[in-house]
């Protein structure tokens, strides 16, 4: 019987190990569905990643499942995270590491769209459009947490280009790991720039014209307009879930304000 090991990175990711300790499989559980990367499926079925890709493509071609039923955009982000977490000087709690990931994310978005993550959000968030202009979101309806994520605004062609770019870069990163080449975060950035140049992609060399704060403020403002119209079209009825979310947000803001007052009194 498989043994449950401690959860890794998120409560949605589990690692299973056989009694003999021979197989480790990471899975993502969402809405009672089990998600595995192609690499993990290859390990599970003792075959190559190329064979898994071929089988998946055949499924698409035969119409058994649509691509959106088998692909999770945020797995791309997890792959990138896994690569850079191997950096010698990586520490997820340090600000320099957080800024490093933002830089990497922006370079990838820029390579595909010519815009930073903040610029994508700022230019595409539109409360008057269906689904607010989003192409993907978590759950069954668009929520405020969805509208501040740049990749949620990428179209199918952009997502495909991003995934292809990441897959190619993963091959390079795995080669570095196999050769036991240790790298610092700034060295990974240099390699990423070189990789993007090799692929004839534009390289981001600045911070962009729109700040994260500006993008977040606009997106949330557009969401409020979008949500008001959504409630109106629903005969003014607000779902129980949305009511609970609002109550939690209000309570969180109240607690935050009280903490601020207590600090001043101290």
Domain map (residue ranges) of the chain: 73-237
What's residue 142's pLDDT? 92
Beta bridge partner(s), residue 27: 14
What's residue 92's pLDDT? 61
Q: How far apart are CA 153 and CA 155, in angstroms?
A: 6
Beta-carbon contacts of residue 64 (< 8 Å; ≥ 6 apart): none
What's residue 82's pLDDT? 62
Q: Which regions in the chain score pLDDT beneath 50? A: 1-19, 22-32, 34, 64-65, 67-75
What's residue 234's pLDDT? 77
Q: What is the pLDDT of residues 46-80, one digit of tens each?
A: 566 666 666 666 655 665 445 444 444 444 555 56
Beta-carbon contacts of residue 4 (< 8 Å; ≥ 6 apart): 14, 16
The Cβ of residue 54 has, within 10 Å, a number of other Cβ atoms equal to 12
Q: Which residue, 98, 94, 78, is CA-closest to 36?
A: 78
Hey, is 102 helix, strand or coil? helix
What's residue 57's pLDDT? 62
What's residue 22's pLDDT? 46
What's residue 227's pLDDT? 93
What's residue 250's pLDDT? 73
């Amino acid at each position: 019987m498989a043994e449950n090991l401690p959860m890794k990175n998120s409560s949605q990711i589990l690692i299973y190990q056989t009694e003999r300790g021979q197989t480790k499989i990471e899975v993502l559980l969402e809405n009672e569905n089990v998600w595995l990367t192609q690499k993990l499926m290859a390990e599970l079925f003792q075959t190559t990643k190329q064979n898994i890709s071929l089988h998946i493509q055949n499924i698409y071609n035969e119409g058994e499942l649509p691509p959106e039923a088998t692909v999770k955009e945020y797995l791309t982000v997890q792959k990138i995270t896994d690569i850079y977490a191997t950096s010698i000087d990586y520490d997820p709690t340090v600000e320099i590491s957080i800024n490093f990931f933002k830089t990497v994310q922006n370079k990838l978005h820029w390579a595909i769209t010519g815009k930073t993550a903040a610029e994508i959000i700022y230019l595409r968030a539109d409360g008057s459009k269906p689904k607010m202009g989003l192409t993907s979101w978590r759950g069954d309806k668009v929520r405020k947490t969805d509208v501040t994520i740049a990749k949620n605004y990428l179209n199918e062609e952009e997502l495909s280009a991003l995934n292809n770019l990441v897959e190619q870069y993963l091959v390079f990163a795995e080669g570095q790991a196999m050769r036991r080449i240790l790298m610092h975060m700034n060295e990974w950035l240099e390699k990423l720039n070189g990789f993007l140049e090799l692929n004839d992609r534009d390289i981001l060399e600045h911070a962009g014209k729109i700040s994260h704060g500006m993008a977040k403020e606009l997106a949330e403002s557009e969401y409020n307009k979008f949500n008001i119209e959504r409630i109106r079209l629903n005969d003014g009825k607000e779902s129980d879930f949305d009511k609970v979310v609002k109550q939690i947000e209000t309570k969180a803001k109240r607690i935050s304000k009280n903490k601020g007052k207590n600090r001043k009194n101290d």
